[in-house]
Amino acid sequence: MKIRSGVRFPEERAGNAGLIATVAMAFAGVIVGALSAYLGERGATASAASQPPAAQIETAADPLREERERIIAEIVSGAPERLPAPNGSLHPYQKPRERPKVVIIIDDMGVDRKNSEKALALPGPVTFSFLPYAGKVRDLADSARHQGAEVMLHLPMEPRGAADPGPHALTSGMTGREFLKTLEWNLDRFEGYAGVNNHMGSKLTEDIAAMKTLLGYLDHRDLFFLDSVTTPDSAVRQAAKELGVDILYRDVFLDDVETEDAIRVQLALAERIARETGYVVAIGHPRPETMKVLGPWLTTAPARGFDLIYASALRQPDATAQAQTVAAAPDLRL
């Protein structure tokens, strides 16, 4: 049984006792592996480094994924990326057979209301990821969905250094109870999102126990996780392997650079990765420079041979065979 809007059980009546027990056992069975690292209130500090070597599961070799990794590593060598290509496997690589697919995700939606609303006017399909603590985020996310865009939740997580991830961020110092309570607070801020990606999180995503708890809980709610890859040492892939769940990854940051010309370079990098590997996941933000460059690029992408798809389409290989809509102008996004 999938529960998408929080953990809710039927009322405790004698006639429903069996149903209550069944639901409770099903819920426990889904996330018991993810929560095991937190038993005894050990919290997210029970990291991979503290686990015995026998508990470490090596990622099985996958020639197709390794080939995509090799191609991306060659493409980004010397490119103005903040981080190197992730170590390990991305979504299963398939040799391009038809038109290359492009996923554009706009992060940090909601805090800058004015620019977030402008971002919603971009031709689509575009996936918008909203910060749960943004003011009136529910209204803005609903507006995005009503316009036909895909919505994600941009989950704040603990970074390394002094950067502030915002209120209600998941941190490595939390107990298991605190971790899940904070996670629920974030997940309940608005509805209708297809998946979750991390806001910051360069420290927390390196903690395999925390990531197993997060991934197990999201899988229980039928939500996918997309690793923004804010650290080359992310433990998300290993956690997903141990839990047996599928996850997605960012390939390119579009606007860690600030000039319009530099953003165009990043878009060219995204195009090359898509052509060489079949698809690309690119993340940008609702900034004036980004929107000024991205709007025309999205409008012309289909005519230049690219299919724009939502992030969730990568979970369904057959869905990437066709674009969900053709970008031409903002009012044509379905």
H/E stretch holding 127:
strand 127-130
CA dist list (Å): 76 to 73, 94, 278? 5, 19, 16
What pLDDT, on the 0 to 100 scale, is given for residue 61? 53
For residue 108, the surrounding DSSP H or E stretch is strand 101-109
- Tell me the CA distances in angstroms from 260 to 121, 124, 240, 289, one per residue in order: 19, 20, 36, 6
pLDDT at 96: 52
C-alpha distance from residue 160 to each of 85, 157, 197, 201, 279 (Å): 19, 10, 17, 8, 30
DSSP string, 132-143: TTSTTHHHHHHH
pLDDT at 124: 86
pLDDT tens digits, 262-287:
999 999 999 999 999 999 999 999 99
Which amino acid makes up residue 333? R
Q: How does 98-133 read in b/e, with b if 16+ C-beta sit within 10 Å?
A: ebbbbbbbbbbbbbbbebbeebbebbbbbbbbbbbb
Q: What is the pLDDT of residue 317?
A: 55
Dihedral angle sign, alpha carbons of residues 198, 200, 203, 206: positive
Alpha-carbon dihedral sign for residues 83, 88, 91, 93: positive
Kindly give the parts of the chain with pLDDT less than 70.
Answer: 1-65, 78-97, 316-334
Q: Which two tokens stand for residue 84?
A: 């190197």
Residue 75 is predicted with a pLDDT of: 84
Q: Please measure the distance between the N-terminal and C-terminal CA atoms of the chain and give it in whole angstroms.
A: 31
Cα-to-chain-centroid distance, residue 294: 20
Structural contact between residues 35 and 7, judged by C-beta atoms closer than 8 angstroms:
no
| Predicted pLDDT of residue 7 | 27
> Which one, of 169, 176, 116, lies nearest residue 147 by Cα?
116
Which residues are within 8 A (CB) of 330 and not within 5 positions of it... i.e. 6 or more apart?
A: 121, 122, 123
pLDDT digits (tens, 9 = 90+) for 186-232: 999 999 999 999 999 999 999 999 999 999 999 999 999 999 999 99
